[in-house]
Amino acid sequence: MFSVSLSAFNRAAVLLAAILFMSAVWGLGHIPDANLQMIVFTSLVSALLADIGPFGSRLRQAVILACYSAAAQFIFSVSGKLPFLQVIVFVMFAYFTFLTLPDRRAGCIVLLTGCLGISAPPGFLPAAGRSIDILTAIPVIMVVTALGNAGRQENGETNLAPIPYSPYQAMVFSAKLGIAMSISGILQLTQGIWIMMTLLFINMSKTSDSSGEKLAWQRVFAVPAGILIGGLLLGTFFRIDHRFIWLLPLVAATGFFILYSGNFFLFSIIFMITLTVFSDWQTGAGHRFNFWENFFPRTTATWIGAMIELLSGYPGKYNQGDASR
């Protein structure tokens, strides 16, 4: 238990360092097109590689994931003018990613980064610029993971123990993502991207003790709870001093520490609190932010994603005689 907590703390600390470092690069480099993609990609990959000791192994993984993520966001972004084509491209790229990467967690991070490209400013040049920006994250990843590995991992132990998908599992999960994107396009949901992101977060967090079905139910209740709590905070602390926003990276890192310690439900609540407060800050210190426009679309999209995860597991339970006939 202590070793698990130590690993979780190390990964969360590396994630926090990556957020702060990449935020500084984003601000000093005046990179508006990157939006949050650079920060999301850098922090999640840094945390994933945090326990890998050898420099060469970390560099190789960082380069591979950066190239995959840059390609994902570019392809998903430029194919957006033809929604049907975008769904096909998304499914094919997802299948290719899970077949060729040895770890499904890494594949989910790649697709999460790619999904953010769907909602980013369209166009060939902006998409190409964001891809280049993602590649610039490689030095940051190497720096923060080197700090996290200082004095550790002399035995060569690695946190990136392969958790691969079989070809069949890769096909099934890619199909689920395709269904999610199709529903988002058909319903024209303002927060439709959260259908795919719900599936990706669930499958990135699955363990032998936490099935996709269990995590889906937790997400159903945690997301609206987190948004509501975030709304309550906006009505209290931020009317006193909106500079509280600078604590958000620490709050986010705390949430991921909880996730890495095995509590997906509490992580989901904290994650949604952070996003709700961040959305308010982005729209101008609460002056233009509409809480309900955030609550209903994001909760609906999350519930659709969770339902896809739950229904996809039903045939297996039916065949095993667990489902009621």
H/E run at residue 325:
none
In the structure encoding, which two tokens stand for residue 229, read together? 């709590």
User: Would you list the domain boundaries of the chain?
Assistant: 1-175, 189-325
pLDDT of residue 319: 44
Q: Render 286-317 in DSSP notation, one character per residue.
A: TSS--HHHHHHHHHHHHHHHHHHHHHHTHHHH
Instruction: State the chain's maximal CA–CA distance in angstroms.
Output: 61
Q: How far apart are CA 213 and CA 324, in angstroms?
A: 16
**Residue whose token pair is 């995590």:** 215
Check if the beta carbon of residue 264 is closer than 8 Å to that of residue 210. Answer: yes
What is the four-CA torsion angle of 92, 96, 98, 99, rounded to 10 degrees?
130
Instruction: Give me the half-sphere count of Cα atoms (radius 13 Å) on the Cβ side of residue 248.
Output: 24
Whether the CA torsion 170, 173, 179, 180 is positive or negative: it is negative
pLDDT of residue 43: 93
Q: How far apart are CA 295 and CA 308, in angstroms?
A: 20
Instruction: Calculate the alpha carbon distances from 39 to 8, 141, 293, 299 in Å.
Output: 20, 11, 25, 24
The parts of the chain modelled with pLDDT lower than 50 are: 1-3, 151, 153-159, 285-287, 315-316, 318-325
pTM of the model as a whole? 0.86
Nearest to 94 by CA among 189, 179, 221: 179
What is the four-CA torsion angle of 268, 48, 260, 23, rounded to 10 degrees?
-50
Check if the beta carbon of residue 320 is closer than 8 Å to that of residue 249. Answer: no
Q: How far apart are CA 37 and CA 56, in angstroms?
A: 25
In the structure encoding, which two tokens stand for residue 172, read together? 């099934």
In the structure encoding, which two tokens stand for residue 228, read together? 């509501």
Instruction: State the alpha helices, DSSP H only, in 165-313.
Output: 167-187, 193-205, 212-234, 237-240, 248-260, 264-282, 291-312
Q: How far apart are CA 51 and CA 75, in angstroms?
A: 31
Encode burial over 277-307: b for 16+ CB neighbours within 10 A, e otherwise.
bbbbbeeeeeeebebeebbeebbbbbbbbbe
pLDDT of residue 185: 87
DSSP 103: -
